């Protein structure tokens, strides 16, 4: 529930960004799209959505620091907002309706508030430290699934710089495929983590994520009673390789993946 002023602002900003995104679904063909790198696209919609979010935050909290995917790091303050204005840009650009707005607010490096908003389904996932996680106004919890057998897992395939881990990843995917009930690759990491929090998937893993992909999702998972860490079971610092799930599925994934993790990945 949006009872905190900072969370209220995050919700307002996420909804506004969602409107910008949904409105532009009708003219995808005429969008200006630029490649940040090979197969890494940013559209004017990512930028417009981010501008709306930043404007709303700045209006209320002009001195807070911001880390946003498109605009980078701005300002220094103990309160910092971590923003992915459009998580799932590739989906969005193809009209594949799975994407979200992700906004987290941290204080002195500790995540305090989180919003992941899916503008297509108009689903609002929120969390505040100590206050639990919510989907709209209902409390959400991770699933009660006890084993990988029968579990529905989410994942993301490694690409760009992380394609050096493809063999490791496919070994893990093979092992998971042989035991789980199903594996999905929806294409928006923030939403994947929100789905772990809501118990829609029992676990999730992906390599090489950015802080804005995972900041809000991390608090959602934790406040919903789940675990999130690195593939070798270290605490997850925002950015890098991630495994999440309900406590049992999380532990089972770590055990399943352990034989495949290369030394250099353990260091992260």
Residues 54 and 64: their CA atoms lie apart, in Å, by 10
* Shortest spacing between CB 209 and Ca ion, in angstroms: 8
What residues numbered 48-77 form the site for Ca ion, per CB under 5 A?
69
Does position 50 bind ligand IPD by CB under 6 A? Answer: no
Nearer to ligand IPD, 145 or 162 (CB): 162
3-state helix vs strand vs coil in the chain, percent to 5: 40, 30, 30
Among 20, 48, 87, 208, binds Ca ion (CB under 5 A): 87
In the block, tokens 């390599």 appear at 207
Strands 65-68 and 79-87: parallel
Q: Which does 226 bind (CB under 5 to 8 A by kind): ligand IPD, Ca ion, none?
A: none
How far is CA 238 from each of CA 25, 60, 174, 203, 244, rounded to the nearest angstrom? Answer: 30, 25, 27, 18, 13
Residue numbers 207-236 binding Ca ion by CB under 5 A: 213
Residue among 90, 262, 92 nearest 160 (CA): 90
CA 96 from centre of chain? 17
Q: Which of residues 199-238 bind ligand IPD (CB under 6 A)?
A: 206, 209, 213
Interacting residue with Ca ion among 50, 84, 192, 223 (CB under 5 A): 84
- The one of ligand IPD, Ca ion, none whose footprint includes residue 188, by CB under 5 to 8 A per kind, is ligand IPD
**Residue 89 in the binding site for ligand IPD (CB under 6 A):** yes
Nearer to ligand IPD, 99 or 250 (CB): 99
Which 54-83 positions form the footprint of ligand IPD (CB under 6 A)?
none
Contacts of 5 (CB under 8 A, 6+ apart): none
Q: Print burial letters for 169-208: b (CB count within 10 Å at least 16), e (below 16).
A: beebbebbeeebeebeebbbbbbbbbbbbbbbbbbbbbbb
Q: How far is the CB of 194 from Ca ion (least distance, A)?
A: 13
Output the smallest distance, CB 35 to Ca ion, in A.
14
> Where do contacts with ligand IPD occur on this chain (CB under 6 A)?
84, 87-90, 156, 187-189, 206, 209, 213
């Amino acid at each position: 529930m949006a009872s905190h002023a900072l969370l209220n602002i995050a919700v307002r900003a996420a909804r506004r960004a969602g409107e910008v995104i949904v409105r532009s679904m009708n003219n995808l063909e005429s969008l200006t799209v630029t490649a940040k790198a090979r197969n890494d696209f940013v559209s004017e919609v990512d930028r417009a959505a981010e501008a709306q979010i930043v404007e709303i935050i700045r209006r209320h909290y002009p001195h807070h620091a911001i880390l946003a995917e498109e605009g980078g790091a701005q300002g220094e303050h103990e309160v910092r907002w971590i923003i992915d204005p459009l998580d799932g840009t590739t989906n969005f650009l193809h009209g594949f309706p799975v994407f979200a707005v992700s906004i987290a607010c941290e204080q002195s490096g500790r995540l305090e508030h989180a919003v992941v908003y899916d503008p297509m389904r108009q689903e609002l996932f929120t969390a505040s430290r100590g206050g639990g996680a919510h989907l709209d106004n209902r409390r959400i919890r991770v699933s009660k699934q006890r084993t990988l057998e029968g579990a529905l897992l989410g994942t993301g395939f490694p690409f760009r710089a992380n394609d050096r881990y493809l063999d490791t990843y496919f070994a893990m995917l093979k092992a998971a495929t042989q035991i789980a009930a199903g594996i999905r690759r929806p294409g928006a990491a923030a939403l994947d983590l929100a789905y772990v929090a809501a118990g829609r998937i029992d676990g999730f893993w992906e390599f090489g994520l950015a802080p804005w992909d995972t900041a809000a999702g991390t608090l959602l998972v934790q406040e919903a009673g789940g675990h999130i860490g690195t593939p070798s079971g270290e605490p997850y610092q925002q950015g890098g390789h991630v495994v999440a799930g309900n406590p049992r599925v999380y532990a089972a994934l770590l055990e399943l993946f352990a034989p495949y993790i290369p030394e250099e990945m353990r260091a992260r």
